[in-house]
Amino acid sequence: MKSMYRSGFFKKSNDNGRIVISAIMGMIFGYFIGVSFPYFSFTKISSHSSIHSSFDVTMHEESKAHERSFPDNLGSSNTPELPKIYVPTNPHGAESLPPAIVVSETDFYLRRLWGEPSEDLKKKPRYLVTLTVGWDQRNNIDAAVKKFSDDFQIMLFHYDGRTTEWDQYEWSKQAIHISVRKQSKWYPEIPPWYAKRFLHPDIVAAYDFIFVWDEDLGVEHFNGDKYMQLVKKHRLEISQPGLEPNEGLTWEMTKRRGDREVHKFTDEKPGWCSDPHLPPCAAFVEIMAPVFSRDAWRCVWYMIQNDLVHGWGLDFALRRCVEGEYEKGKAPWEGVKERCKSEWALFQDRLVNADKAYLKQNGTKL
């Protein structure tokens, strides 16, 4: 039993010793931690401050870079006194602006949101092609658009509200899309509603020619670039491509003729033309696939009425927007003949007036 007691005593003593030693070691370790903590804390805080200050410097430098891009006189405190300007020849409402800052025209060119503005456009389209479309005619529109090169800006007026579906065509991503339900360009499918509201002459002034086309035209034999060559060659202000003779045409003027590049007058059905020099026998383009020069469109746009949504009769009045349209509707020799007669009459009047002036000056009567 003693040996057992003695053994138990020594075991208890050893346990107590371990506790004491552990406590002493803990105190010593805690002391060193306590002494070292301010250093570690300072190091940590300094490190954090260093990172933070570095971040602040970077942001500050970026901020300064942006500040440097602003004009020196930005802000009301250092803005110079505004000059008193009145330029009556400026557009209405802009008379108080210096002419050099006035931008009276715009375009449909798509631009980036970054970089230098001067580098936005690799190429500026010269012509604008507008088509009033519905999704059901997508195949025909796709075929039509592919007839035009990158010299032509494509613009679609959607009358059925379906626009996102057109993204399946690569060309559609570069086209301008305007969607308004149940409004369209000309009768019977596309009245002038879109043209009047979205093709103001100052908006389309960047384009040499404007196409205002139906969606259901057959374009199998059409080529946009070749057509523009003919338009410029013959100096056409308002024109349209000829239609195939077997397509059920309304007007003879719109029929394609294989014996010539361009025709400006035709023979119509008996009783349809009151004057062979007037529409639809001459000076006539049907509102189906018209192509307008910039100047001609400026005139035509002003003639479109806001409330006459179908545009009936407009094609008979287009000749008003072409300078010298009467002569253009006749054979060249007829214009020459009329000019000769006019000059003869003018010469006779001038000769008589010269005789009268001489006799009056010398006090002589006839």
Write the pLDDT tens digit of every residue in 242-262. Answer: 877 776 677 777 777 777 888
Q: Is the pLDDT of residue 130 over 70?
A: yes
Q: Are residues 219 and 349 in the same domain?
A: no
Average pLDDT, the chain: 77
Q: Are residues 346 and 243 in the same domain?
A: no
Instruction: Indicate the pLDDT class of residue 49, thresholds 50, 70 and 90.
Output: very low
Domain that holds residue 269: 128-328
Q: Are residues 301 and 357 in the same domain?
A: no
Report the domain count for the chain. Answer: 2
Q: Is 107 a domain residue? A: no
Q: Are residues 162 and 192 in the same domain?
A: yes
| 3-class SS shares of the chain: helix, strand, coil, % to 5 | 45, 10, 45
* Nearest alpha carbon to residue 247 among 205, 273, 216: 216
Q: Are residues 295 and 347 in the same domain?
A: no
Q: Are residues 243 and 350 in the same domain?
A: no
pLDDT at 332: 61
Q: Give the best-scoring range by mean pLDDT among 36-40, 139-143, 244-248, 338-342.
A: 139-143
CATH number at residue 179: 3.90.550
Q: Are residues 180 and 265 in the same domain?
A: yes
The pTM assigned to this predicted structure is: 0.66
Stretch 29-40: mean pLDDT:
52
Q: Is the pLDDT of residue 191 over 90?
A: no
Q: Are residues 236 and 362 in the same domain?
A: no
Q: Are residues 295 and 362 in the same domain?
A: no
Q: Is the pLDDT of residue 164 over 60?
A: yes
Instruction: Indicate the pLDDT class of residue 324, thresholds 50, 70 and 90.
Output: low
Rounded CA separation 189/354 (Å):
62
The two beta strands, 127-133 and 209-213, are parallel
Give per-residue pLDDT as tens, 196-222: 999 999 999 999 999 998 887 888 889
pLDDT at 200: 94
Q: Is 53 a domain residue? A: no
Q: Is 143 a domain residue? A: yes
How many other CB atoms sit within 10 Å of the CB of residue 326?
14
Rounded CA separation 359/327 (Å):
40
Q: Is 99 a domain residue? A: no
pLDDT at 272: 82
Q: Is 160 a domain residue? A: yes
